[in-house]
Chain A
């Protein structure tokens, strides 16, 4: 039984019902300590059932082993990369362990490899890359299970609206309960370095991907959307474009050096620093007040050579339902701003 499956929620509700019935039945027979134990059992049951549902929505702990900390390390790239697709026209999700010599982070990363990655003659090409960043709380599994990113990418590529693209799904934090907003936190995780240095270096060394800036982009939803825009503006020499799905203008955390008010603040960067020549797709739901106001401010501040387009969903709040509407248009737009799959360079590695 999966930790994020509907059956787990159903079972947890049955446990709450059973504990509640137990409290009602045994109350008259129990003494003070017994009654206290019955109450505690019910309260814990309600809290646990609520936590299971919240976890199902956020995928903070996508497996029982993630909850217990016993997750097995993914196999080495040479062993993990499949030789074929599961089905024609369908890409594959493969998980690798990505060490971070520069950041000190060592995290698993799921990678979407498009069907063309395995299919002659395209398998000899270097593919463009999109780093897709998850929200907080959350994990890359949110992209996979709640947004169905693989199904979406398969559909967009099959329809010709998107070129075959490798999509990286890294963690943005080594601690599921610590929101880094993809920054280098003072005395904490060096997430920015991991995402902009270690992950790209690893991908270029182990996957058939483009090495040049024109072939790299970022996207993300919620906190991941802030990450995508912030990292694009801070590293315009590495990324050509970013798509923000319900992003904010500031990180909403304390980085430790007050940079949340300056260099890690998108509104501040666009107001105080030269704007880089990059492209942004900024989407929000019109009833998602914080993300709407932050995104609007970013769009207003974006001036040439930075180019920006906006996209608005009228209703839906800050939810997966909104991001499931946005991801297709965002990926299509990104693909139209990324260099195409091109012939492999001599030193590319599979």
Chain B
């Protein structure tokens, strides 16, 4: 019988009325059973009336829509483990790493992308890192910097580089490094429009000075372990 169904409510109130009738009937019972019958009868009536009222409220507001819910819901929370990136062993070196995924040919870049992991990348294998994406005319090592708590990705676009052409970059990066989908773009002047059209409209900062990197880092989430999850 459903906890929020009319049958249970009607049954409860019918039992309450029956309990009232039985208590009235036994009220004048002679002998030593008079008091126990009265007290038990009244307590049963009180309990059934409170239960009947509670069932009506519960039916209206669905606080506990089932007996299962009333008994306490079993937890369905899961904590997925963080997947290692394919380049984790290389990125642990703290130096700029040339990134050459097979898809890069279709990105129409002037040079191979460069990745720089933060200093705590190797020490925190359970964490994923937000991304600072640098769109610049050169990916020379001097131009890109390691950022605290973020993976730096330097791209040197050309006139043929489009947002559409770079559509698979994020997915490819997520396979090769422990990164999240949170990013800030540092864009040199010529690439401002490319940055502005980036999917999800991430924050864009003009330039890539040390101060720009610091500002970008401040705007990003902290590197975190895999979150608790529920079914979607």
B-contacting residues of A (Cβ < 8 Å)?
16-17, 20-21, 23-25, 27, 42, 46, 50, 156, 159-163, 214, 277, 283, 285, 287-291, 305, 307, 309-319, 321-322, 325-326, 328-329, 332-333, 335-343
Contacts and interface: CB of A to CB of B under 8 A. Distances in A.
Q: Is the interface of B mostly helix, strand, loop or mixed?
A: loop
Nearest to B39: A24
B232 A46 contact: no
A342 B219 CA distance: 9
A312 B231 contact: yes
Contacts of B43: 17, 20
Contacts of B229: 311, 329
B68 A27 contact: no
B77 A287 contact: no
A162 B127 CA distance: 11
B44 to A, nearest CB: 10
Interface residues of B, number: 49
Query: A-B pairs with the 6 shortest C-beta distances?
Result: A316-B73, A332-B227, A24-B38, A163-B222, A311-B230, A340-B222
Contacts of B72: 321
Interface stretch (B59-67, B163-171, B204-212): B59-67
Contacts of B66: 287, 315, 317
Interface of B: 27, 35, 38-39, 42-43, 46, 49-50, 53, 61-66, 68-69, 72-77, 79, 124, 126-127, 149, 180, 182, 200-201, 203, 217-222, 224-232
A147 to B, nearest CB: 14
Contact of B226 (A17, A161, A283): A161
B126 to A, nearest CB: 7
Nearest to B73: A316
Contact of B225 (A27, A42, A160): A160
A332 B231 CA distance: 15
B222 A319 contact: no
Given A160-B126, A317-B63, A318-B62, A339 B221 contact: yes
Contacts of A288: 62, 65
Given A27-B38, A277-B201, A309-B232, A336 B73 contact: no
A25 B221 contact: no
Contacts of A319: 63-64, 69, 73
B68 A315 contact: yes
Contacts of B68: 315
A291 to B, nearest CB: 8
A42 B46 contact: yes
Which interface residue of B39, B50, B221 has the most chain A CB atoms within 10 A? Answer: B221
A102 to B, nearest CB: 28
Nearest to A305: B201
A246 B226 CA distance: 23
A143 B226 CA distance: 24
A329 B230 contact: yes
A163 B124 CA distance: 14
Contacts of A277: 201
A194 B62 CA distance: 31
B172 to A, nearest CB: 21
A190 to B, nearest CB: 28
Given A21-B39, A318-B61, A338 B221 contact: yes
B230 A313 contact: yes
Given A289-B65, A329-B227, A340-B220, 9 more contacts: A17-B43, A42-B46, A160-B124, A305-B201, A309-B232, A319-B63, A338-B221, A339-B221, A341-B222
